[in-house]
Amino acid sequence: MRKNTSPAEGTEGLVYQCRLPLSSATLDLVAGLVRGHLKKIGSRWRKLPPGRIALIVLAVLRHDQRLSDMAGGNDVSASTVRRWLLKVIGLLAARAPRLDRALKLTRSGGEVVLLNGTLVRTRRRTGDENRPDCSGKYKAHGLLFLALTDEKGNLVWISAARPGRSSEVTTARHNKITARLRAAGLGALADLGSTGLDDDPDDPVIVTGRKATRGHPLTEAQKEANKLVGRDRAANEHGFADLKNWRILTKVRMNARHATTLLRALLVLTNAEIHR
């Protein structure tokens, strides 16, 4: 019997195929943005065509594939894949609506939006930079984002990243959400974390449930009102669930500025998948 002492792995790496659970419309959207950008800057060629570049970037965003793995399977360098990724994220984020425009679009379809916050986990920092990202509420390190959805749970706007130790009320006041909702003629439903956010209790635009205290338990009417608010807010959680299907958000390895660009790019991709 002849022994085979040669290594199982040759000089060429092994490549496998993996299904990407996205629609062709999303791929066409990203490929069109890449193609338009190359035409705008007058680029003659790239290592791969725009369709392949879009597919690689979507695989990194959806499955959180390592850049070196994607580079090895497509005969390019990891730095090239990183450059494509950052460029596509920037192109997509530029299409995300800002708060005033998002409220104007929502006003044409309804009179109520849903407000909620979420923590996107990040890598733990070292030294003094570690403390701002530590969230006491979630007992984890991350960045805080606020989002608005319509009554059906479709994301319409996402805020800039704030340190994880920030509260949802502080973040909402930083973005002047109450004043902009009142100017747009819209109301909002929020959870108990936004209690006290509205500065006009006689004419509130942000409706939350009631909190019980040690000496003042909730009445039956207040409990029923909390159930109604929670039932109407359930669609908001569906919007965050759609956003976090992008596995790159499992643990973000970016600073706050780049994380804001990433979340806004994923907002555009999420809406493209929902409304395809």
Contact 233, 157 (CB under 8 A): no
Q: What are the Cα distances from residue 209, in Å, to 116, 203, 213, 227, 242?
A: 13, 16, 13, 8, 25
Contact 143, 171 (CB under 8 A): no
Is 53 within a domain?
yes
Q: What average pLDDT does the structure give for the chain?
A: 87
Looking at the fold, whether 52 and 91 belong to one and the same domain comes out as yes
Range in 102-111, 114-123, 137-146, 223-232 with the lowest mean pLDDT: 102-111
pLDDT at 10: 52
pLDDT at 79 over 90: yes
Report the pLDDT averaged over residues 115-144.
Answer: 83
Stretch 112-124: mean pLDDT? 87
3-state SS, residue 186? coil
What is the full DSSP assignment across 20-42? Answer: ----HHHHHHHHHHHHHHHHHHT
Report the number of distinct structural domains present in the chain: 2
Q: Do both 43 and 105 map to the same domain? A: no
pLDDT at residue 78 in the model = 92
Q: How much is the pTM?
A: 0.86
Residues 6+ apart with CB under 8 A from 231: none
Is 191 within a domain? yes
> Domain containing 42: what range?
17-95+253-276
